[in-house]
Every structure is written in C-alpha cells, then in structure tokens.
Amino acid sequence: MTSQLLNNGQAGVLLLSLVPGLPLLVALLLVMRSSRRTGMRFAAWSTLPALAAALLLQPGIDLEVAWFFMGGRMGIDEMGRSFLLLAALVWGAAAWFAHGYLGDDPQRHRFFFFYLITMAFNFGLILAQDMLGFYLFFGLMSISAYGLIVHRGSPEARRAGRVYMVLVMVGEILLFSGMVLMAARLPDLELATIAASPTGNLSLTLLFIGFGIKAGLLPLHVWLPLAHPVAPAPASAVLSGVMIKAGLLGWLRFLPMSQEIILPGWGEALIILGLMAAFYGVAIGLTQTDTKTILAYSSISQMGIMTMLVGCGLLAPNQWPQVATAVSIYALHHGLAKASLFLATGLPMAQKNSQAAPYLILLPALALAGLPLTSGAIAKFAMKEIVHGLPAPWLTLLGCVLPLTALATTLIVCHFLKTMAARQPQETARGAAVMTRAWLLLWLAVALLPWFWPHQQAYAAHVTQLNLIWQGLWPVLAGGAMMLAAWRWWPSGRGISVPAGDILWIFWSQDHPPTAAKRPPQQKQRSDKEALSQQLQQIFHLVARHSRRLEKMLMRWSLTGTAYLLLGLLFLVLLLK
C-alpha cells in the first residue's frame, strides 16, 4: 500500500525532492551555532528519503525542475535504484558511525557539514536524468569531498587533498569539454538520448578519462591510496564504497549503450586496462603496511574488474542490458563490503562490545574474494554470464584470467586481515557502542541483502549449485594457502616497500634529496657507472623540483579559471562554425 501511494500522485515527486534536499537542509542547520545540536541529531536520519526511494519507488517516477540550470529532470530507473540503495545504506551507516568515531573531535560539526553536502550531491547525480544536472551534481560532490579528506589538518592530509583537487579540476575540465562536444550533435540532453546516440572518439576519450579519475582508473588512481589513510574511517567508507562508483555510473550514463553501436576497439582497451588495474592494485597493495592503504589498493583492483565489465558491453553491445545489471550487482556488493571493512578499521577492537568484530570481519573480507554463498559469489556469477557471451579470443582469455583475479583478491584480503590482527589495542572510546551498532548494520546488509534484493535473486538461485561452489572455492583456498606459505617461509621485514601513491614518488623524492656524504679518500674513486647514476639522480631531482613549482602555479585559481574560460570560449567558437 505504501509503495502504491508513493508511485501515485505527488507523493513520489515529494520523496524525490527530499532525497538530496533533506541533507542540504540539515547541513544548513550546522552552519548556525544555535541549531548545530539539532543538525547533528538529524544527520544520520537524513538518508531515510534516499533509502525509501530506493526500496519503494518504481522506475518511471521523475521530477521536472524548471528553475534548475536551464531546466532539469530527476528520476529513478533500474540502474539508479541499485546505486541509490548502495549510497543510502553506506552514507547512513557511516554517518551513524561518525557520531561515535568523532565524539571527542571539536571540529565534528565541520566534518558533518561537508559530509552532508557531499552526500546530497551524490544522491543528486544518481537521480539526475539529464547531462547538465549530472555534471553539476558530479562536480559539486567532487569538490565538497575535499573537506572530508583534509579534516584532520595534518601535512599528509593536506598533501592528499592537494593531489585530489588537482585531479578533480583536470577531470572537471575534461568532462566539460567532452559534454560540450557531445551536446553539439544531440537533439536534447536527456541521458536516455545520450545512451542511444553514437559519440565521437574525442568525446569518448575526454569522458572516459574524466570519469576515470573518480573511478580510480589506472594510472589515475593515485589520489585513492593517499586520501584513505588520512581521512577519518567514515569518510574513507563513503569515498571507496560510494563515491568512486560515481565515475562508474558516469560511464554507464554517457557511453553509448545501444545494441546497434559497436565499439570493439574501445571495448578491448577497457578490458585490458581493467585487467591491468585488477592485478596492479593487488601487487602494490601487498607491499603496504597500513590497513586503510591496503583497502584503497584493493578498491583500485576491484574497480578494474568493473571497468572490464564495461569494456565487455562495448565489445558485445547485444549484452548491454545484462552488463548494466551485472555492473550494478558488482557495485552494490563491493560498495557494501568495502565500506564495512573501512569502518572496521575504526572500531576499537579492545572493547568488550567489539570482541566478536575480528571474526565478523571475515564475512565482508571473504565476500570480496568471491567466497561461495556470499554477495561476492553472486557478483562473480553475474560477471561470468557476461563473459560467456563474448567473441573469441576474449571468451577463452577471460575464462582463464577471471579465476586468477579471485585468487589475487584473496591474497590482498589475507594481507589485510593479518595487518588488522597485528594492530595495537586501542584505548577505551566513548562512542564504541554507537560505532559497533552502525558497523553491524552494514555487516547485516552485506550478509542478507544479496538474497533479497530483486536484481540479485535470479543470480543467487544459481550460486548454490555444487559445481559453481567449487569454481568459487578453489581460488580462495589457493590464495589462502599461498599467503600461509609466504608467512611461514618468507623472512619478516624482507618484503618490497612501495610508498602509497606509487607513481607519484617522483614528486615526493625532492623532500629528501640525495646528499653528498663525506667519504674516506680511498672511496672517492667511482666507476663511470656510479658517476652516471649520480648525474641521473641530480637531473631527476631537478625535474621533480620544477614539477612542484609548475603544480603550484597551475593550482592558482586565477590561472585555472582563465584557462577554463578560454577553453570554453574555444569550444563555443567551434560550435558556431
């Protein structure tokens, strides 16, 4: 009865308005000192309209907003419904968790202000049904998240925030440029029209890179392992669980999804890039010692698998409906499981009310690896169904490689669990009970939702077959055995250490430039090889120093704004020709 009421008349439209509107209203209460206590009280509850819309509204409800940016539409469709459910659950649980996690933080009101506006814009882009609305909400969400990353104010947090903002500005310029080129050849700016229309290679390139920055696409992933360790645990949960999915959703909204549009070159490129990210994220993650950094690289790996799925749709467009469903299932599974693990890193494990947490963490961790009878097994089965419809030689290649991605995920999951177990006991936290309840709520979603959510029930019915159970079990067993052998026979402290951010080390090395230490006279004679090595190091640090200066110059708002304006004028001239 409630569902029928919401889908008839103005009730559904009102609910859609409240999805991004209520968090913004609560954020406004936090601005005024007199109403901050009320705003804090309703912060976690402001996700309820989004949860109700995802559970109760049927696809087809939309809202026309005449005053919004030359007129815009907000609505809900099958794909948006899954992403909205994920966002509502993760943002809500993380907000509840943050009440206990930041209970003693004097700046918690500032954190919740940025948290709420970022959440509102995230909800908005999921509901947006036109190009301008999606672009506006996407940009506002990306910029607002800066406040979550730099909340602690440490030098590491500010550096991570700087890297993040540089990439955000680059991404916004690329997205703006690609959408302008795309709009020039479209009859209207509706997302449904965009998905059914061919797109030029230049527009595809700009949009793919622009959304790829948010999705952690290799090699645009560098902000993720920098942002997660310095951000509070609830912020890391929404960054990795929900916000990077905005880039994935952008691909699904703006890439041509018509069955008549075949882009084999693009499909093959995305499959290759996705597989590279899947293994690269695990390889670098295994060298890390911080739990949240390990999870960040795991997210890069998992987003690589989802990138590969999008590539399958471009390679075999007759499968786009199944690809969209499989990506939605995988995003929901990964978002819930990864957010649960990020919140677990903030749990005070020494508390009496958290004694079961170390064992309960096994469920979301092993679900990521695809353990049978978990959400990961359902997502893996949906992915394999897509692969079976690919042409040769991709069918054979992916059939061999996909079990290896599950094995690789098991390796990094085991590494994370061992690192978590080695953590030092934490002091008593005043909000430990609140944090534990919020985490258990998300844990229950990981455990139960895959079996009851309509989009996954059809796939869930198959994963109980014995042959599929074995196909999902052996990579997990093999990965676990390999990690046990490594812990037993690999000497402690002999591993390779890669700094978080990996390829950005060229910019950091200048903070510790090589110094010419005094040596005894008999050691001053160097070979030509050693002399050449030192000269190359000096050139390297010179390039790095000038790169930092260039970075600071490009970060000036006056310069960036002028470049943005000139770029817009250039495309305007091209359109008028």
Q: Confidence band (pLDDT; 50, 70, 90) for 107?
A: confident
Q: What average pLDDT does range 278-290 have in this prediction? A: 88
Mean of pLDDT over the chain: 78
Asked if the model's pLDDT at residue 346 lies above 50, the reply is: yes
Return the pLDDT at 523. Answer: 43
Tokens of 11: 């009730």
pLDDT tops 80 at residue 84: yes
Confidence at 577, pLDDT banded by 50, 70, 90: very low
Would you say 317 and 370 are in contact if contact means Cβ atoms under 8 Å apart? Answer: no
What band does 340 get if pLDDT is binned at 50, 70 and 90? very high
Whether the predicted pLDDT of 405 surpasses 80: yes
Checking if the pLDDT of 563 tops 60, the result is no
Give the model's pLDDT for residue 109: 84
Q: Which of 89-93, 378-382, 418-422 has the highest mean pLDDT?
A: 89-93
Distance of CA 210 to the CA centre of its chain: 14
Distance CA 221, CA 301 (A): 10
Return the number of other C-beta atoms located less than 10 Å from residue 134's C-beta.
26
Predicted confidence (pLDDT) per residue in 371-384, tens digit: 888 888 888 888 88
Average pLDDT on 132-137 reads 87
Q: List own/partner pairs for 396-401 with CB under 8 A and 24 or more apart.
A: 398/271, 398/308, 401/275
Instruction: Give how far the C-alpha of residue 11 lies from the chain's centroid of Cα atoms, to the nearest Å.
Output: 32
Backbone angles phi, psi at 556, to 5 degrees: -65, 130
- Output phi, psi for 43, to 5 deg: -60, -50
Query: What confidence category does residue 336 fall into, taking pLDDT thresholds of 50, 70 and 90?
Result: very high
Half-sphere exposure of 418 (CA within 13 A, CB side): 16
Distance between first and last Cα of the chain: 56
Please report the pLDDT score of residue 89 as a whole number. 93
Q: Fill in the amino acid letter for 107.
A: Q
Q: Tell me how far CA of residue 572 lies from CA of 114, 135, 417, 559, 563, in angstroms.
A: 34, 18, 53, 20, 14
The residue with tokens 């993650």 is 285
Percentage of the chain lying above the pLDDT 70 cut = 77
374, 379, 385, 386 alpha-carbon torsion, rounded to 10°: -170
Contact 231, 239 (CB under 8 A): yes
Among residues 257, 262, 255, 237, the alpha carbon closest in space to that of 346 is found at 237
What confidence tens digit (pLDDT) does each residue in 503-545 have? 766 555 444 433 333 344 444 444 544 554 455 455 545 555 5
pLDDT in tens, 242-266: 999 999 999 988 888 776 677 778 8
| Model confidence pLDDT, tens digit, residues 181-231 | 888 787 777 877 887 777 778 888 888 899 998 888 888 888 888 888 888
